[in-house]
Amino acid sequence: KDNGYGRTPLSLAAESGHEAVVKLLLERGADLESKDKEYGRTPLSLAAGNGREAVVKLLVEKGADLKTKDKDNDRTPL
Task: Give the model's pLDDT for residue 4.
Answer: 76
Task: Give the model's pLDDT for residue 55.
Answer: 99
Residues in the chain predicted with pLDDT less than 50, given as ranges, are: none
Its CATH architecture, for the domain 1-78, is Alpha Horseshoe (1.25)
Query: Model pTM?
Result: 0.92
Per residue in 13-22, is it b (16+ CB within 10 Å) or e — as a string? bbbebbbebb
Task: Give the model's pLDDT for residue 33.
Answer: 96
CB–CB of 68/76 below 8 Å? yes
